[in-house]
Structure 1
Amino acid sequence: MELNGETLIAAPRERVWAALNDPDVLAACIEGVERLERAGENRFEGTMNAKVGPVRAKFTGAVELSEIDAPNAYVISGEGKGGVAGFAKGKASVRLEDAPDGTRLAWQASSTVGGKLAQLGARLIEGTAKAYAESFFAAFKSRVESDDAVEVAPVVLPETDLGEGTDEPPGLSPAIWGGIVIALVAALVLWLVL
């Protein structure tokens, strides 16, 4: 399944970036999230309750961040398991761009499902995935545009000795990315799990 979309957020890119990296903001925007935790340097795990058609289950998911280009873009890869309900795997890219009235948040994702979920039919799964994504981005947009949105923290790129390689991606710490990963993956793991 392939999904994509974009949303215009009436806030500067720095504010959108900060919110995308705030696990509390992300968790608040994803329906059914029970927990979001860091499980490694660039890996995060979460649990959520989701419903796809007649299938309702608790899904456990893990996501990993890569290709981090703070404060512009990143790639999220993840998978979720819902016991007998099935599983989902997916990947999404997210990009922020300055726009005349704020920030354009564009995303593109692909996923596959198995188990009972796969038996529901592509139209039902895709419709549910779109609904979860729309719900997440509407809540996220509303929260970021509100006065009580997350505080903007400056993006600090780590100093790197060019003579030595590093496995760490530039930009924000993986702990911060965990929230966005699971939130967008909750929207993704929700629809990765869907």
Structure 2
Amino acid sequence: MELTESYTLPVPQRRTWEALNDTTILQASIPGCETIEADGENAYAVSLSASVGPVKARFKGRMLLTDIDAPNTYTIVFEGQGGAAGFGKGSAHVTLEPEGNESTKLTYTAHAQIGGKLAQIGSRLVDGAARKIAGEFFKRFSAQVTGETPANGEALEAAGEAEEDEDESEDTSRANSAEDAAESAHTGKGSKSWKAWISKF
């Protein structure tokens, strides 16, 4: 998978760089992030929950910052394990460029490999989920660095999306239960499909 995006942030380049290296801001900005802790020089241990289609899991991994040229660019090398859900690993090259005195253009190109159940649900679904997560990250990140809070409309929209995700999860769970019942009736055993097992995370 390859993903390239650009965003304009309403803060100076130096402030953007500092925020990108602030674990408190990053934890508040990354969707589903539970913890980010220092794990060596320019390295961080990360724990987060994520959903990609029918696959939902808690991932634990590590990020390493390399090729650092403050406050202009660095490369993030990452890897994460999500148990039976699968794994992900890759890198992202991040570049900052000033746009006037009070804005910064952030561009990144990410390359990633996935395996396990994640690799079985289709690249289009995975790409769509990655773009949605990235978009949400930069919306939260921008709010963090400017000290702004989402408008009421955005908050309601976010709540609606969360409710849709919950409804989808419930529908998937019901469908998986029906699938399990059919499978058990056919095999005469109490075995469950991987989808039902994954839905527990």
TM-score range, shorter chain: 0.7 to 0.9
Question: What is the distance in 2 between the residues matched to 1:135 and 1:26?
Answer: 12
The TM-score normalised by the length of structure 2 is 0.71
The DSSP-based 3-state class of the residue aligned with 1:139 is helix
- Equivalent residue for 2:127? 126
Aligned partner letter, 1:139: R
- Equivalent residue for 1:88? 88
Gaps of 5+ in 1: 149-194
- Equivalent residue for 2:110? 109
The DSSP-based 3-state class of the residue aligned with 1:25 is helix
Question: What is the distance in 1 between the residues matched to 2:119 and 2:132?
Answer: 18
Aligned partner letter, 1:31: P
Contact 1:3 1:109 in 2 (8 A): yes
Aligned partner letter, 2:8: L
Identity of aligned residues (%): 45
Gaps of 5+ in 2: 150-201
Write the mapping of 1:167-178 to structure 2, written as runs, cut at 5 A.
none
- Equivalent residue for 1:56? 56
Aligned-CA RMSD value: 1.3
The DSSP-based 3-state class of the residue aligned with 1:71 is coil
Aligned partner letter, 2:121: L
| 1:78 correspondence with 2:94 | no
Question: What is the distance in 1 between the residues matched to 2:109 and 2:38?
Answer: 24
Q: Which has the larger radius of gyration?
A: 2
Q: 1:30 deviation in Å?
A: 1.1
1:134-161 CA distances to partner (integer Å, 9 max, x unpaired)? 100111122223369xxxxxxxxxxxxx
Question: What is the distance in 1 between the residues matched to 2:109 and 2:77?
Answer: 12
Which range is displaced more, 30-39 or 72-81? 30-39
- Equivalent residue for 2:180? none
The DSSP-based 3-state class of the residue aligned with 1:40 is coil
1:65-122 CA distances to partner (integer Å, 9 max, x unpaired)? 1100001100001111000000011100111111135111111101010000000000
Higher relative contact order (CA 8 A, sep 6+): 1
Write the mapping of 1:147-186 to structure 2, written as runs, cut at 5 A.
none
Aligned partner letter, 2:116: G
Contact 1:9 1:145 in 2 (8 A): no
- Equivalent residue for 1:18? 18
Write the mapping of 1:36-47 to structure 2, written as runs, cut at 5 A.
36-47=36-47
1:7-42 CA distances to partner (integer Å, 9 max, x unpaired)? 111111111111111110110011211111111113
| 1:6 correspondence with 2:35 | no
Which structure has more helix as a fraction of its residues?
A: 2
The DSSP-based 3-state class of the residue aligned with 2:112 is strand
Aligned partner letter, 2:18: A
Question: What is the distance in 1 between the residues matched to 2:22 and 2:39?
Answer: 16
Aligned partner letter, 2:89: K
Question: What is the distance in 1 between the residues matched to 2:2 and 2:89?
Answer: 12
The TM-score normalised by the length of structure 1 is 0.73
